[in-house]
Structure 1
Amino acid sequence: MSSRITMVLAIVFLLGAILAGYLGIVVSKEPAAPPVEAPVVQAPPPPVEVAPAPPPVEDALRQNVVVLARDVPAYTPLTADDLVIERLKVAPAGSFSKIEDIVGRSTWRSLAAGTWLSESSFEAGGTLARMIRPGERALALSVDEVIGASGQLSPGDYVDVLLYLPQDTEGSARSSQVVVPALRILSVGELLGPTRDGKPAQNINAEERLKLEQRRVNARTVVVAVPETLMSRLLLASQTGVLRLAVRSADEGNLQEYWASEPGRPDVAVRLDSARRNLVQFNQLSLESPSGNAGAARPHAVEVIRGNQVTQQTP
C-alpha cells in the first residue's frame, strides 16, 4: 500500500516537473519582432520667400542730414571720411542731405564733430560777423554791476542806452537822455547768442554753457548790434558821459520781430529814434515852492562827485 502510494506520488511529481519545464521554455522565448517597413521618403516643401519687414513708420519719416564725423580745422577740404549721414526727425533749415554736395569744399573756420553743415558753414567771417545783418555793426561797451543792470543782461535782450552829462555844452546844467533806443545784445562777456541762421554761435556742451552762464554775472563787456546810422552817436556818447543800459520788456517782441522781418527793413532802434531823445535837464527836476513862486531866489548848490554818485549840497 505504501509502495503503491509512493509510485503514484512519483508519477505526479514527474508530470508536474514536465509541465513546469514546458511552461518555462514557453515563457523564456522572446516574441518575434514585427516586420520593419521601409521608411517613406517625402520630398522637402518648396522654400517660402519671406518679404523683408517694412521699416518702422518713425524711421521712414526721418530725413538725411550730413554732419561732421570728426573735428575739422579751418581751410581744410572735406573728404567723405570727414562726413556721416544722420537720420533726424527734423532736418535743420539749410542742411545738406547728400555727402557728394560737400566733398571738396573748405570751411573758413574750425568746426567740431557732430556739427551739421549748411551754406553758412562755408561763408567767410568770424562769429560776430555772422550774428548781424548788413547795415548793422557790432560794438562793445564797458559795463559794471550798475551799468549792466546788476549783471542780469543776456544775449537777445533789448536795451536803451542812457547818457548822463555832468554839464551841457554851455557848462551850466546837467542833463540826461536816451542816446540810442532798443539795441540788441549780441554777447555778454564770453556768452554769445545765436547766429543769423539761428544756430548756436558756440559749439559747446551743456556743462560748458552753464559755466559761461555763471560767469555772465561778472562780465565787464557787452556787445550790441548798432544800426550803422546810430553808430557814431553811440561811440561819442560812450566817450562823453556816463552810460546806463535800461532793459526793455520781452513782451514788446523786438527779438521775434527782428528774426521775422526782412534784412532790409529798418531796425527797431532806427524807428524809435527821435530828434530830442527824451532830453531832460537838471533844472527841469527842480520843484516849485508851495506858493507857486518858481522864480524865488534860491542859494546856489555845490555839486559833489563821489565816484559814480553826484550830490548837490547847499552851503
Structure 2
Amino acid sequence: MNNRRSLVLAAILFIGAIAAGYWGLVLTRQQPVAEVPVTQMVEQKVAAVEDTTRQPVVVLARDVPPHVALTAEDLTLEKLQTAPVGSLTSIDQAVGLTPWRALAAGTWLSKQSFEVGGPLARMIRPDERALAVAIDEVTGAGGQLTPGDYVDILLFLREDTANPQQSAQIVLPAVRVLSVGDELGLTNDGQLASPPLNAEEALKQAQRRATARTAVLAVPEPLINQLMLATQAGTLRLAVRSAEEKRLSKYWAGQQESPSNIENAKRSLYRFNQLAMASPVRAPVAGNPVAQRERGIEIIRGSQNTQRPAQ
C-alpha cells in the first residue's frame, strides 16, 4: 500500500515539474531581450562622457539684420569638440549686443562680430591706409607672397621723353602685406580676420593665393599719394624681406626712427623724372635762336665721340 502511494506521489511530482518547466519556458519567450536596455545604458554613458569633452559655442539660430540688438530667440547653444578661438560660450554674453553688419544663421559669435569695421579696418593702425596693388606670378614674388610678410615696393621706369634713361628705385621699404587674393592675415589683436578653415578649404585657399591678382598693403598715410603716383608711373614689383628682421613692425610705427624714415621716403620719389639722375628734354624757348638750334648728329668711332651739325 505504501509503495503504491509513493508511486502516485512521484508521478504527481514529475508531472508538476514538467508543467513548471513548460510554464517557465513560455514566460521566458514572452519577456523582451535583456540586451536592449543594456545597450541603451551604454550609449547614454558614452554620450555623457562625450558631452563633458565638448565646449559650448553661441551660434545664430536665424539670420539677423545689422544694427538690431540680439535677443535670446536669435541664439542657440551648440557644443563643439573644438571651440573657435574667441567664441562666446554663453547666450547671456550675446543678448543685447548689436552687430554692425548682417549675420547669417549658423554663424558662431565672438567679440569681433560686434566690432565696427571690416577685417581690413581691424588689420591696420590709425596712421595707415590699406591699398590694393595689382600683382601676378612675377611681380608678386613668384606666387609665394603670404599675408603678414614685409616687402619692399620697387618701381621700374622705362625710357621715354620724361625719363631719358630707364631706372629702378625703391618706392617704399618694409611695407606689411595684409592680404593676398581673398586670404587675410591677422588683426591688430592677433586674431584671425576671417573664420578658421578646415583642411580642404585651406588647401583651396592656398591654390587661389598662388594665382592671386591683387595684394593689399598697409601703407603709411603720409606716403599714400606717393605710392599712387608710382603705380601709374611704371611697373611695380614686390621684394619680400627676411623673416629674421624682427623690428620691421616698428619701421613706420616706431617713436624714434619712423619720422626720419617717412621723410626719407618722401624725398626719394617725389618727382619721377629725377630717378634717372638726368634732366628731361626741354622744349625750345621762343625767341632764343640758340635754344631753337637743331641738335647735331652724334658720331661714335671706337672710343671717339664727335658731334656733327645737322644739315
Length-normalised TM-score, structure 1: 0.59
Match for residue 179 of structure 2?
187
Cα-Cα RMSD: 4.2
Q: How far apart are residue 246 of structure 1 and its match?
A: 0.3
Q: In the aligned structure 2, how far is the partner of 1:213 from the partner of 1:91? A: 21
Aligned residues: 233
Match for residue 237 of structure 2?
244
Match for residue 96 of structure 2?
104
Structure 2: which 5+ runs fail to align? 10-47, 279-302
Match for residue 27 of structure 2?
none
Match for residue 253 of structure 1?
246
C-alpha deviations, 1:119-153, integer Å up to 9, x for none?
Answer: x3212222321222211110010112221112221
- After superposition, the Cα gap between the structure-2 partners of 1:109 and 1:271, relative to the gap in structure 1 and judged at 3 Å, is farther
Given that 1:141 and 1:221 are in contact with CA atoms closer than 8 Å, whether structure 2 keeps it comes out as yes
Greater Cα shift, 83-92 or 220-229:
83-92
Aligned-partner SS, 1:215: helix
Q: Whose helix proportion is higher, 1 or 2?
A: 2
Q: How far apart are residue 159 of structure 1 and its match?
A: 0.8
Which structure would you say has the larger Rg?
Answer: 1
Q: How far apart are residue 155 of structure 1 and its match?
A: 1.4
2:133 pairs with 1:141: yes
Q: How far apart are residue 204 of structure 1 and its match?
A: 6.4
C-alpha deviations, 1:222-268, integer Å up to 9, x for none?
Answer: 111111122122112111222111011223236xx74xx8x974699
Greater Cα shift, 83-92 or 228-237:
83-92
Match for residue 28 of structure 1?
4
- After superposition, the Cα gap between the structure-2 partners of 1:247 and 1:277, relative to the gap in structure 1 and judged at 3 Å, is farther
Aligned-partner SS, 1:129: coil
Identity across aligned pairs (percent)? 42
Match for residue 59 of structure 2?
68
Q: In the aligned structure 2, how far is the partner of 1:226 from the partner of 1:267? A: 18
**In the alignment, residue 232 of structure 1 is paired with which amino acid?**
N
- After superposition, the Cα gap between the structure-2 partners of 1:26 and 1:267, relative to the gap in structure 1 and judged at 3 Å, is farther
Match for residue 206 of structure 2?
213
Given that 1:175 and 1:280 are in contact with CA atoms closer than 8 Å, whether structure 2 keeps it comes out as yes
Q: Deviating runs (4+, > 6 A) in structure 1?
A: 87-91, 267-271
Match for residue 195 of structure 2?
203
Q: In the aligned structure 2, how far is the partner of 1:84 from the partner of 1:127? A: 25
Q: How far apart are residue 197 of structure 1 and its match?
A: 3.4
- After superposition, the Cα gap between the structure-2 partners of 1:98 and 1:272, relative to the gap in structure 1 and judged at 3 Å, is same
- After superposition, the Cα gap between the structure-2 partners of 1:141 and 1:208, relative to the gap in structure 1 and judged at 3 Å, is same
Q: How far apart are residue 103 of structure 1 and its match?
A: 1.0
Match for residue 22 of structure 1?
none
Given that 1:227 and 1:269 are in contact with CA atoms closer than 8 Å, whether structure 2 keeps it comes out as no
Match for residue 173 of structure 1?
165
Length-normalised TM-score, structure 2: 0.59
Structure 1: which 5+ runs fail to align? 1-24, 34-54, 284-295, 301-315
